[in-house]
Amino acid sequence: MAVELDSFKGDILRTAQTGLSDYSSGDLYHAAKFLCLSDKPNADLYSLLLHRFGDQIPLFDLDRHLTAVTAVIRNPTAPVETLSAITGLSFDDIKQNQTWIQTSNLIKNVLLSHYYPAYLFIQYAQSFLRDLVENPSYLEYVAQHKPVTPKRLEIHATNAICNYRCEMCLWHVQNQADYQTDTKQVTLLGSKDWKNILTQAKESGTNVVIFSGGVNLF
């Protein structure tokens, strides 16, 4: 991390000397790698990233703040209770930092980059492969060419019908997304269809279902 920190400091100094104000693709790569993959995120490097992307350094404790932010980004579907257990921070700490995330230019650019969806895809693939190894019945199904489902299944039941524009939402896309707003123009599955789907998922190994998208439209 010391080498990476020195390299990033050098990038910022060179940028200042040339008078450039926009961040580069290299900066975005460093930011995504730092927030998603660093084992022990460094507060000094984080401060440089905040400066580079035009964010003000938060007034609250920077180490606690960084712990909360990386936990939220790496576990986007986790409730506050789970994030609190992971980090050892209070509910108020988590919520305060979730509010800050909605205003951060650094976080917004990382979430909207191609790096973040790739990170989530890899995490999902690793989780699924781990399930295959830990559950012998999964491997038996695969050997017999039977369908299997992940233990944790995320469902977007409303098919992108959402009247909210949450800044921290992965699908927000700076309010540019082509959201459906008229339910008459969208075909949604009925309760009978969802019951069949969930029954099949349970029979194939799923034991956790995450409902996402649409908020109160469920």
Report pLDDT digits (tens) over 42-60: 888 888 888 888 888 887 7
Q: Are 201 and 169 in contact (CB under 8 A)?
A: no
Strand partners, 155: 211
Bridge partners (DSSP) listed for residue 176 = none
pLDDT confidence tier of residue 18, bands split at 50, 70 and 90? very low
> pLDDT for 117-149, tens place per residue?
889 888 888 887 887 777 777 777 778 887 777
Segment 158-214, tens digit of pLDDT:
765 666 666 555 555 555 555 555 555 667 778 899 899 999 888 887 888 887 766
Find where tokens 């075909």 sit. 187
**Residue 217 DSSP SS3:** helix
Cα-based distances in Å from 174 to 80, 97, 102: 25, 20, 12
d(CA 106, CA 101): 9
Instruction: Show me where the domains of the chain are located.
Output: 2-112, 115-217
d(CA 73, CA 211): 18
